[in-house]
Amino acid sequence: MAKSEWYKNMSVYQIWPRSFCDGNGDGIGDLWGVLDKLDYIKSLNVDAIWFSPLFPSPNADYGYDISDYMDIHPDYGNLQVFRQVLDGAHARGMKVFMDLVVNHTSDEHKWFIEGRKDKNSPYHDYYYWRNGRTTRSGRRLPPNNWSSVFEGGAWEYDASLDEYYLHVFAKKQPDLNMANPRVREEVKNILRFWLDLGVDGFREDVITFIAKDEGLPSSYPPLPVANGYRHYANRPKAHEYLKEFKREVLDFYDCFTVGESPMTTPDVALRYIDEGGDKVLDEMIAFSHMEADCFMLDMLQLPFNLVKMKRAFSEWQTKLQGRAWNALYIENHDHPRIISRYGSEEYRTESGKMLAAMYILQRGTPFIYQGQEIGMLNTNLTELGMYKDVMAQNNIEVATRFMPRSTAMKLLARSSRDNARTPFQWTDGKNAGFSEGTPWFFVNENYKEINAAQQEDDPNSLLNFYRAILKFKKETPVAVWGDYKEYFPKDKNFRFLQLREQLRHHERLYLAAV
């Protein structure tokens, strides 16, 4: 039986649960809050909800460090209320997708705790535990030169075992050893658990990182951030593991999968999603269009470059045309707010509508991130202590190697993921209607002007534009199935102009700093 392709004509609303809606007044968003807002979500004309991790987690990376894959974090509720949300979504014709985070667990997951106690435990080999290297002078070095994305080196030493464990992200996020068949069995059990409960698919976190090159070789020349990625991003085994998950589990359910794929080109993405090839995922989450005002990382900011953005979109659209389906997005929990980046805070409604139309009408499945539909903007964090994101500290440490702290703090304020994680602005009332208690994170000061209630009855609001365009997309075959064509030929001077812009930008940064 050919798998049905309902995902090609759907749009998805992403919920980052901690900041969506607090139903029990403890200041933290939860599933009771979601239950209360299901009609609102449905009113946007979306077809599905993707939940950022709802599982028990010590929150070193706000849910992306999981300590139990088969339960709900008590902050968010329990399995009963999750079932209510699931039923409520289904009753309204909406699917529900979970976040599958299996590149790493929390260091508080029982597998890690057990494996750390004893080298002979079967759980020891669930992770990458390795001996260190020693220099000729007897100095101890980690097993290789990789750096982590979030916190310094990629290895953490454990004195009781006299071994290091690998963490490509934070120290509290040890990488799972997917080469171990037992780990893959665990992943299959997790998939089955949620599918049997009735969920309709998964967004798969950094899924292109799950296979590491054998022997974990050092990487040269070393990069200041994410050094080593060429030995863990898109390695051939990643496809093999995904194929196994598909063959043994996913193929038995009518479910959807979208893989997050940092640093992946459309050509590489096609290895996973080509319908005429060895397809193991339905869609891939691209990154290049989110780099039109920065270099690779949000922190390395540049002026917005329209041509760069257009090129990125065009490349994915044209390369995937007729072969695979795109995931379309301009915001999620990992990026600052789009109007503050690619639009204009002054003309927020106008630029918000322009950005919405620009991406939703491309070929693919649109994803809308909570608050995007009402034009929420970046917040203003002035001191390091105000940030919640584990990345902030690391970004400042790296940045201050190259620039004065004051400049680094400015760059951080504009680029931090925390910009997207402030509580949802429902009303102009207390705490923006997010919570009766004290919100876990600052509410953006602009909530009196920007909130859902105020836009509800205004036919020209951004909120109502999102509703209209998502309806239009759904009902207009050409907006779903039409081909993408670029009307303006590529600018031959592009590289030169880009370089000139970059040099000017750095000159400005330098002058501002001295």
Q: Does 34 bind Ca ion (CB under 5 A)?
A: no
> What crossing angle do the helices spanning 405-415 and 390-399 adopt, rounded to 10°?
140
Cα–Cα distances (Å) from 397 to 150, 225, 436, in that order, read: 11, 11, 37
26 is a site residue for Ca ion (CB under 5 A): yes
In the complex with ligand GLC, the residue whose CB is nearer, 170 or 280, is: 170
Least Cβ distance, residue 66 to ligand GLC (angstroms): 9
Distance separating alpha carbons of residues 102 and 50, to the nearest angstrom: 17
Distance CA 275, CA 3 (A): 11
CB of residue 31 to Ca ion, shortest distance in Å: 9
Q: Is 293 in the site for Ca ion (CB under 5 A)?
A: no
Q: Which of 89, 178, 206, 399 binds ligand GLC (CB under 6 A)?
A: 206
User: Under the criterion CB under 6 A, does residue 204 sit at the interface with ligand GLC?
Assistant: no
Residue 501 burial by Cβ neighbours in a 10 Å radius (0-12, 13-18, 19+): middle
Q: Does 61 bind ligand GLC (CB under 6 A)?
A: yes
- Is 61 catalytic? The answer is no
The entry of Ca ion, ligand GLC, none near residue 206 (CB within 5 to 8 angstroms by kind) is ligand GLC
Is 334 a binder of ligand GLC (CB under 6 A)? yes
456 labelled catalytic: no
Q: Which does 26 bind (CB under 5 to 8 A by kind): ligand GLC, Ca ion, none?
A: Ca ion
From the list 107, 200, 205, 283, the catalytic residue is 205
Would you count residue 156 as binding ligand GLC (CB under 6 A)? no
Q: What number of chain residues touch ligand GLC (CB under 6 A)?
A: 9
Choices 19-27, 41-49, 253-261, 267-275 (CB under 5 A): range interacting with Ca ion? 19-27
Name residue, tokens 């976040």: 99
Contact 22, 28 (CB under 8 A): yes
Q: Which of 107, 260, 283, 293 is catalytic?
A: 260
Cα 438 to Cα 432: distance, rounded to the nearest angstrom: 11
Among the listed residues 101, 286, 292, 356, the single contact to ligand GLC using CB under 6 A: 101
Q: In terms of C-beta density within 10 A (0-12 exposed, 13-18 middle, 19 or more buried), how is residue 40 classed?
A: middle
Asked if omega into 221 is within 30° of 0 (cis), the reply is yes
Q: Which is nearer to ligand GLC, 50 or 169 (CB)?
A: 169
Q: Tell me if 72 contacts Ca ion by CB under 5 A.
A: no
Instruction: List the one residue out of 424, 304, 439 whose CA is nearest residue 376.
Output: 424
- Residue 451 · residue 433 · CB < 8 Å: yes
Tell me the C-alpha distance between 249 and 260, whole Å. 20
Task: List binders of Ca ion among 367-386 (CB under 5 A).
Answer: none
Q: Write out the H or E segment, with its range, that includes residue 391.
A: helix 390-399
- Judged by CB under 5 A, which stretch of 29-37, 188-196, 205-213, 288-296 contacts Ca ion? 29-37
Among 24, 43, 218, 400, binds Ca ion (CB under 5 A): 24
Annotated catalytic sites, by residue? 205, 260
- Interface contacts to Ca ion, rule CB under 5 A: 22, 24, 26, 28, 30
